[in-house]
Chain A
Amino acid sequence: MLNEERVILMTKLAAYEQNEGRKMVAVGKYFRSDYIGIQVLKSVIGSTVAFIIIFALYILYDLENFMNDIYKMDLFVFAKNVLIYYAVFVVVFAVITFFVYSYRYTKAKKSTRTYYMNLKKLASMYDKNNNY
């Protein structure tokens, strides 16, 4: 016979799994440090590419002057400045990523906790049924 309470619970769980739960469960499988670490790493790579693009556009913007000056200027100082800008850019971006994904991880954990509790409840319902 159909157990109405169980069907309702299963429907809820299935709906959660299909929608927001899919991402949340995937996030919940990581350790906190692993998850945030991966995201920060992705951000570092992304911001590196972004910095290269911005730098290339900056050079292209003033290409003629840059080519004229290139023999006059101190390339080491120039490289040092560029590296400092790069470091600041990447660090700022990584810090933002760290905070955003820490928040998301906590949220996902909370959300999956309810999900796993409901799963346990469902399992116990089956147990009860089998005992009778």
Chain B
Amino acid sequence: MSNLLEIKEVIKKFYAKYDVYVLPVLKFLLALVVLLGIKGRLGYMTRLNNVAIILIVSLLCSFLPVGFMIFFAAVFVLLHCYSLAMEAALVVACLFILMLLLFFRFSPKESVCVLLTPICFALHIPYVMPIAMGLIGTPASAIAVACGTVIHYLTVFISQNAQTLGAGEASEAVARIRLMIDGLLGNKTMIIVVVAFIMTVALVYLIRRLSVDHSWTIAIIAGTISNIMIILVGDLMYDINVSVVALILGSLGAALLVLVLQFFVFSVDYSRTEKVQFEDDEYYYYVKAVPKMAVAVSEKTVKKINTQTGRSVHTQTGRDEHLKRPVSTERQVRRGNSVTIGTKHQPDYRNDDYEEI
């Protein structure tokens, strides 16, 4: 455990030191994955499939706010739909505008979920999103996750019905619009998954806010189980043919991933919980303070031992490596107020030549 914590500290330090570079790189990668995903799933406008365009837009996204990434992704989806069929683009545009007007003006911060959810679907771990957002987000994140889910199923629907949508005559415009709307509203799988995700986010959020020990872990487990149950019940009720094996494996994988996330976001030591009560003029306070787990990262100090100037010539002959000798590495494990210090000494290699000097 202490090794893992040490790795976490190293990552944190690295991020703190280089966040100016890390954040744009991460944004660039996210934009690249999103745009390549759109190209792979839709990709009907050949001019947009040019890797150079995708790279340039990703580079733009790397230093623009996240909102622009969503904007570019939406534009790409719309353009691909447009070159397939104008009606498809029309319906998708209406859906995007509705999402923008009705939902994203409330929680613009969490709108990045709209991009992450389809990516998780593509990676076959969609169940990560509701649990993770329940843990680190607010109940409002449920809406963003739901919108992401709708967009995923919409793109799947378009790519499955590309031939029907693309081949029609101009006179069948209304039929195509009807096909799109039917595909959107009549998709029972989508509706069940959306309901399951919304309920999972709410449940995970409620449980992790409880003042119970290990509330995060309980929330993850409960969220995973409820998610599986809701989808299975939906499957029984509407006969949507969900692959049970994929559902369970995906959920387990998601739970593991979220446990890793929990380790990075919220690692506390419940064994050292302190409960205190005090009062001021207005309130009584019942405070439960749970300390965070922390380790000091081992720092290796390299001491240079120089010989006296007069004799240094003698030691310079191919034996420089002995001059730099690690003295000791210290490792501290902080536990509350008591500090345990373990000292590791490097094997003290003696060198006869060196000692003589």
Digitize B93-121: 1 where CB-to-A-CB distance is under 8 Å, 0 elsewhere. 01001100110011000000000000000
The reply to whether A46 and B105 contact each other, CB–CB distance below 8 Å, is yes
Q: Judge whether B16 is part of the interface by a CB distance below 8 angstroms.
A: no
Q: Given A53-B97, A57-B91, A63-B174, A100–B181 Cβ distance below 8 Å?
A: no
The reply to whether B102 and A93 contact each other, CB–CB distance below 8 Å, is yes
Q: Judge whether B177 is part of the interface by a CB distance below 8 angstroms.
A: yes
The reply to whether B105 and A61 contact each other, CB–CB distance below 8 Å, is no
Chain A stretch 34-55: residues in CB contact (< 8 A) with chain B? 42-43, 46-47, 49-50, 53-54
Query: How many of chain B's residues touch chain A, expressed as a range?
Result: 10 to 19
Alpha-carbon distance A42/B177, docked complex (angstroms): 29
Q: Judge whether B209 is part of the interface by a CB distance below 8 angstroms.
A: no
Alpha-carbon distance A54/B106, docked complex (angstroms): 20
Q: Judge whether A74 is part of the interface by a CB distance below 8 angstroms.
A: no
A54 contact set on B, CB distance < 8 A:
98
Alpha-carbon distance A46/B214, docked complex (angstroms): 42
Majority-rule SS of B interface residues: helix
Majority-rule SS of A interface residues: helix
A42 contact set on B, CB distance < 8 A:
105
Q: How far is the CB of B125 from chain A (nearest CB, A)?
A: 31
Q: Judge whether B288 is part of the interface by a CB distance below 8 angstroms.
A: no
Chain B: residues with CB nearer than 8 A to chain A?
91, 94, 97-98, 101-102, 105-106, 174, 177-178, 181
Listed by A's residue number, 19 A-B pairs whose Cβ atoms lie within 8 Å are A46-B101, A46-B105, A47-B101, A47-B102, A49-B97, A49-B101, A50-B102, A53-B94, A53-B97, A53-B98, A54-B98, A57-B177, A57-B181, A60-B174, A60-B177, A61-B174, A93-B102, A97-B106, A100-B106
6 closest Cβ pairs, A-B complex: A46-B101, A50-B101, A63-B174, A53-B94, A60-B177, A50-B98
